[in-house]
Structure 1
Amino acid sequence: MRGEQSALSPRGPEAELLHGLTWLLSLGGAVIFLLTMLLLVLALTGRARWLASPRVMVMLGAVLPTIVLIALFAHSTGIVSALGRVVGAPLVIEVVARQFWWEVRYPEQGIVTANEIRLPVGRQAELRVTSPDVIHALWIPALHGKIDMIPGRENRLRLTAGEAGTWRGQCAEFCGSQHTLMALFAVAQPPAEFEAWAARQRAAPVPESAGRAVFARAGCGACHTVRGTEFSGRIGPDLTLIGTRQSLGAGTLENHRDTLLQWVSSPQRVKPGNAMPDFRGVLSDDELREVAEWLENLR
């Protein structure tokens, strides 16, 4: 699976603002620490008796810290204001965190997907995030800081991808046994490619195959939706065009036919504690391969 995950490699204007603030605080803190250690050494060796002057103590102990803190407060307030600014007409994306995967909705386009956020380069996106179970947090370091996802509350985060690319995100709030395997990918595309992806999602072609019949017979549609079919479950991820996604199991496996077979057969072995039961022993090896092949061809 591709996808850089680093707060030190910003790929959008919001991430660049936070990156600049990180360096300012880090370098400023280092300078203040070194200066403090230098003054401490001078004081202990008796080489700077002037440090005992009340005026110097007031200047270094009260006036200078006050000036520095006021300057940092003003600078960070400006950054917070810039991060909350609406630019143009943002693309609204609803992200719902669940144990242990992500549901991603595009209400304006009528698209629902999972574990992947598609973004048009240069257009601001407004992520409206929430959770139906426990507290989660969404963090895509290359694009923005983290935001909490709290049951019963909708929080909002605005971000912009400055270039095309794929970046890994992560749940950044402990949410249960598979917290560490709750990742997602942000995929930024040129606007024309994003529109083509959206049109493909809306069309949602569904090939006929033996795997579709096995999928129906096994009751998979009780948990999963595949648009354009009779399957309309809402417990598990929407599987419409699952073959186009970067990963399976919220970043646990790369997405191809072999890993689809592995996931359908033994999801509890791959990611213990997730809500999907194992189907090895329920379906034959041939039936498992047919389901994996059908899902892989949903693209």
Structure 2
Amino acid sequence: MCCGHASPRRGRRLIATGWNLAESPSPGMRCLTLRGSGGFQPDGTTTGPPFRGVIDMERLLADPPKPPRSCPEGKSLWLHSNQLDDECIDMFAHTLRRGDWRHLTYLNLGGNQFTCVGMSALAGAITQEALPLLEFLSITEVEIADIGMKALCAALEHMPKLRCLEMTKCQVGVVGWTAFAAAAMKGAALQELETLYASDNNIGDVGMKAICDTFAAGRFPKVQAMHIRAAQIGDEGCLALADSIELGHFDHVRHVQLGGNVQTRDGFEVVMDVIKEYEKKILKCHF
């Protein structure tokens, strides 16, 4: 393979550290034009950081990185921060549909570069019962946005054993979180969920109210912890949470992390007063 060109083979792509890559419209070849902090000079030398090489997605899946010791042995796939884009995730989705990963209980795709397009491909494979045993899913710091969240929501009931969902910094807004709450009202979706990491998204007051409505319906029966820091939740969202706590909908929840939101002192006090007044000793809310 010549410098600056990647094979058109599906699932293979070129990675350049600190360089922006643009796809050429030339037919039959995926030409990656180097721009930004590095590039080719007229004398053939380069500036900027060197190439890290080529990722062959097939090879990566055939011999994936070793997961941390805390992950279930033989049942985990750790692809965190591998710079996987939509094309790579589409390749992964193909192997999911083929049934290669039905044994997984732990999947970490966080810190990658795919978008709502890749998320849609992934979710489509999951709806074909590709991950029936999955208990842990992380897509933290993957910017799937509302469109990607809606795709994921369609797949939630096809992961009936899911216990932990990590979605910090996914650029998901009120529309996406409202869809998430609605999805939890269907079938087996999120009925085993114990921990939700949703900080640094735009849940907002509307999204928080929708989540509280889902608790009120008894559709988050096993949730013990919600991390919703810096999620644009204000006084109205806090009031909805306080009402749910007062009515006993959060009696099984132990921890709600609310720091960095936009509520005033009124929002803070209405939650803490309800916890104190109704002696909700198990629940800890942190602002």
Does the TM-score normalized on the shorter chain lie above 0.5? no
Radius of gyration: which is bigger?
A: 1
Higher helix content, 1 or 2: 1
Give the alignment's TM-score, normalised by structure 2. Answer: 0.27
**Larger RCO, structure (CA 8 Å, separation 6 or more):** 1
